Structure 1
């Protein structure tokens, strides 16, 4: 793995294409070893062979992966003022999260001024299936993404966590219908959260904005009003990313 990564990093804007001999000399590896590494990287889409001169260059898979990274960077940057505004209007902690395999990764964390509040999740990963942000993302992701999550056991984080896969699928149908997801003490005891999806210019879900706080301050009767605020913020961020709703979402 280390040698393969070194090989990929060897290709640059100055030298976008290299042959086996040049790669062997640059990496200090035998030609047979480099050829084996190159063959594997080509088969996986990380490299491609120039049919004219036989040299190798970075493959389209890396371009696709780079596009995903840029999307995440864009949403993290464009969302900041709207996340702060939502925090001020709601008085609660606000999160921005993205989907990574079967987990979510928190990119932004705007803390409320209350003494009792969720701890900072910045850079933290949590299961997608039991968090409001994760559910908002899963509900609007391609079916294959949800299928991947459902293949693994749903391990409960609290006594309230929904672990029945059929029940989870029904819950995600409701999320698609109403446009937001709720976490009712399913990720952490005594904490509730609500989240809504963020879409980019292509209509793909790229992130979720979430609001979280203690159950004593977020009674169920209050969640609907907070959900409307979160949805408004998510729609405003989506608009900044170039999203134009076509189906009322």
Structure 2
């Protein structure tokens, strides 16, 4: 495939990255035949790629040697990304503060195309909690994190980012384009997003965008089971989110590569 600027990717490198992305997205080990079929790579070529990646620690095989998953090297590189990301470090204190105040699950998420990726989290102190994991990807339109960030873009830009038709994750997921655009307009008006059981039934999330870039790419959320959501809980959470994240506006220049130009 040739990109718009005429650059043609190196085939072997491109295939290696395809394998990594496929293994990361699957959530389970996959066979050579399965990978070859889904990626369109000949089994003989794929076998050599997997053997090379296993030798370097990027891929591991099960005891039978027939099913493959990510190796420790992938974990090392993923962890290094989080450790060196300026925004993750800058928001540590805000996440801790929100976690202490509410005892609920707190997330930092980043917009990546049509999805949101969890970059950091603080666990709920309660037995009934949201299941999530660092690196998990979710459709932006079905999460408070994602809607807070989509609302920072025009409807035209959002329409080009999402894959239509939208898939309903729960009976509450907004999949109608007009309804989604109306919801994003409401987010812009009030300054925060709400996921009303749109991603997970029984769970409500509140989120605000982090004002470190224009348009923002990161957002912070607090997730609460419906059973623990009191009449004023939402207002308290939104106020705390705004307070914690709002302090970061003055720190925008501290984030590498995002300093506000003078004048």
TM-score bracket relative to the smaller structure = 0.5 to 0.7
1-structure distance, mates of 2:129, 2:205: 12
Task: Report deviation, 1:97.
Answer: 0.3
Structure 2 counterpart of 1:23? none
1:121-180 deviation line (CA, Å, top 9, x unaligned): 311000000100000010003555302244521110001111111011011011111110
- Is the CA contact 1:91–1:112 (under 8 Å) kept in the aligned structure 2? yes
- Aligned equivalents of 1:151, 1:124: Cα separation in 2: 18
Tell me, yes or no, if the aligned pair for 1:196 and 1:230 is still in contact at 8 Å: yes
Shift of the 236–121 alpha-carbon distance from structure 1 to 2, 3 Å rule, reads: farther
* Structure with greater Cα Rg: 1
Greater Cα shift, 218-227 or 143-152: 143-152
In the alignment, which residue of structure 2 is the partner of 1:216?
Answer: 227
Provide the C-alpha distance between the structure 2 equivalents of 1:203 and 1:101, rounded to a whole number of angstroms: 16
Assess if the C-alpha contact under 8 Å between 2:114 and 2:163 holds in 1: no
Q: 3-state SS of the aligned residue for 2:219?
A: strand
Aligned-residue CA RMSD in angstroms?
A: 2.3
Q: Which residue of 2 aligns with 1:169?
A: 181
Question: Residues 240 and 122 from structure 1, CA distance in 2 versus in 1: closer, same or farther, beyond 3 angstroms?
Answer: same
Residue matched to 2:243: 232
TM-score (norm 2): 0.62
1:185 to 168, 177, 197: 197
Name stretches of at least 5 consecutive residues in structure 2 with no aligned partner. Answer: 1-8, 15-80, 255-263
Looking at structure 2, the residues matched to 220 and 192 of structure 1 have their Cα atoms a distance apart, in angstroms, of: 13
Corresponding residue for residue 121 of structure 1: 133
Q: Secondary structure at the match of 2:187?
A: helix
Contact 1:183-1:194 within 8 A present in 2 as well = yes
Q: What is the CA-CA distance between 1:4 and the residue it aligns to?
A: 6.7
| Count of residue correspondences | 179
- 1:230 positional shift: 1.2
Aligned: 1:100 with 2:122: no
Q: In the alignment, which of 64, 67, 76 is matched to residue 88 of structure 2?
A: 76
Give the number of the structure with larger relative contact order, counting CA–CA contacts within 8 Å between residues 6 or more apart. Answer: 1
Q: Which residue of 1 aligns with 2:101?
A: 89
TM-score w.r.t. length of structure 1: 0.66
Give the deviation of 1:120 after TM superposition.
2.7
